[in-house]
Amino acid sequence: MFRGLVLAILVMMAPHTDAAQLRGVLHITVALVDGNQQVTPVPRYALLISDNPPSAIPRRVLTSLEGVVDVRLAPGTYTVESDQPVALEGKAYQWTLFVDIVDGRDVVLELTSDNAEVVPMTDAATSALAPLEAAPSSLLAEWQNSLVAIWTATAHGSGFLVDLDGLVVADQQVIGTATSVEVQLSPSVKVAGTVIASDVRRGVALIRISPTIAASVKTLPLVCDTPATPLAVDEAVVALEAPLGRLRGANTGSIERILTNVLDTDLRSSTGGTGGPAFGSDGRLIGLTTMVPERDGRRPEGIRIVPVGRVCGLIALQTEKISMTPPPSATHLPVELLQPVPAGPTAADVPAPATSPGFYQMSTSDFDIAFITPVQLAALQGRSDSNDIMERLRSNFSNWTEYVDSAPPVLMIRVTPKLVEGFWAKVARGAASTVGMAIPSIKRLKPDFASMRVLCGDAEIVPVHPFKLEHPVSGSDLLVEGFYAFDPGALTPTCPTVTLELFSEKDTNKADTVVVDPKVIQQIWQDFGQVTS
């Protein structure tokens, strides 16, 4: 710019200034008001800052994606001006303002529609105008009600509702081979979802929820019949997410590579957050986020974007199945308590786990069972014995470690296949012992856990989450445990009996049944701060 050239000449003529003066912070915000009276931050907007009168080349700064920038300045008078106009709704705005920094004090400068100079669009080349990029806060405010959390037995992810018939799109890597999921629309509303398609090639899954539920939620429509505006490397992107154990939020970054079927980005994943919508710098929906497969050799926390065209392609391919799939029930499923449970006894107040390893445990022929309350979990962390089940309880919770770490107010029941020694292994050890060879016990796992039913009397208790823990054993083999979360008030001393029906992968129709000791139920009730009559 001409002003920049003049200042470049002046800097060679100016006397040296003392840089050791006490500095203050100039906090600049840039925001415009659109035709709907919505305040829209102006992200990545370039401003020139120079002292007044000018003695150096202007300092060029960029606002963040939230439309703000902080600049540390020595005391003096400064000119803050636009590097180029910014366009919004057919108008071009620019600023030239003056600000004083006194005695190193912090100053706030707000650049708004009210103090901007409105430049006719004809006064500047359209190509020179800075586009008004979409700010994460405005996108989150507009579309957060379209965002949902998705729970499967082994994973958590995000998704978003795209029509009033209840169609939800999600990350295929989260859904995997599941045929049904839980879809959480708010902290208090969770419903069943039916998986219509889980397409590995496209990286997209389609889920249907009840249209009755969908009618109360804002949809984020897909634009499938309009040619997409080309994207560019380094273009800013914003991804919305509903991560595990956290509030919905916005994740910001930029495009690193444009591949045939996916966009590589520098977005970082939050635990259980992929599957949400991704937006380009102009605020348009460009796709959904997905995890980077481990086999690709990129950083494990990286995120890619599946282009919206591939989402539209799968929906078109599955049109008949979508229309023929009956909507799942609109009945609300149990959720974690919205308020913490009353404070119960501390771990130090519960001597039973330290003196009686079996107090919260039971067994069947195939499984070891542990009841875990917040108090019991704290007590387990302090144990030092070598009891097998205690060792397994103290170990990590595999794919649901982050869920446990968030200390949810739930009763957890962990069901672990037993370690047993087979008949022929015992024979081999006996034969070896006759010739003076000592062979340690050779154990193998009982069949993996498949599912569980919990009954209060004759009534089945619906869990908050029917999880599974997956532990890699060797190669592609997994040890599968059951890990169910229940409302702490579900299993109470008022139940005539509490019965567990356990099913293994070996025989999913034959239950391994056990009745829970009433004393255990009584202690669980007390751990959650409840008082019984």
Structure tokens at 330: 């609109």
CA distance 320 to 327: 14
So what's the pLDDT on residue 393? 52
Number of H helices, E strands in the chain: 12, 35
CATH architecture of structural domain 2-130: Sandwich (2.60)
Q: How far is CA 133 from CA 186, 230, 239, 420, 522, in A?
A: 29, 15, 14, 62, 58
Half-sphere exposure of residue 51: CA atoms within 13 angstroms, side-chain side: 15
Answer for the pair 529, 343: CB distance below 8 angstroms, yes or no. yes
Q: Residues 64, 235, 228, CA angle at the centre, nearest 5°? A: 130
Per-residue pLDDT of the chain (533 residues; tens, 9 = 90+): 333 333 333 333 333 334 345 778 899 999 998 777 878 888 778 899 998 888 777 888 878 767 888 888 888 899 999 988 888 877 889 999 999 988 878 899 999 999 999 987 654 434 334 445 556 667 888 898 999 999 999 999 999 999 999 999 999 999 999 999 999 999 999 999 999 999 999 999 999 999 999 999 999 999 887 777 788 888 888 899 998 877 788 888 889 999 989 999 988 878 889 999 999 887 889 999 999 876 654 555 679 999 999 999 999 999 999 999 999 999 999 999 876 555 444 444 444 443 344 458 888 988 989 898 887 776 665 555 545 554 555 457 888 988 888 778 899 999 988 876 555 555 566 666 676 666 665 566 678 899 999 999 999 999 999 999 988 877 667 789 999 999 988 888 999 999 999 999 888 889 999 999 998 898 888 888 754 43
So what's the pLDDT on residue 345? 45
So what's the pLDDT on residue 165? 94
Answer for the pair 410, 397: CB distance below 8 angstroms, yes or no. no
Judged on CB neighbours under 10 Å (0-12, 13-18, 19+), 402 is middle
CATH architecture of structural domain 137-324: Beta Barrel (2.40)
Domain regions of the chain by residue span: 2-130, 137-324, 347-527
So what's the pLDDT on residue 443? 61
CA distance 226 to 300: 34
Total residues belonging to the chain: 533
Answer for the pair 171, 156: CB distance below 8 angstroms, yes or no. no
Answer for the pair 353, 376: CB distance below 8 angstroms, yes or no. yes
Of 156, 122, 438, 125, the C-alpha closest to 276 is 156
Q: Which residue has 């595999």 as its token pair?
A: 398
Answer for the pair 4, 57: CB distance below 8 angstroms, yes or no. yes
Residues 6+ apart with CB under 8 A from 70: 25, 26, 27, 28
Structure tokens at 341: 């449970």
Structure tokens at 173: 């890597």
So what's the pLDDT on residue 146? 94
Residues 6+ apart with CB under 8 A from 366: 417, 418, 446, 447, 502, 504, 512
For residue 277, the one-letter residue type is P
For residue 448, the one-letter residue type is D
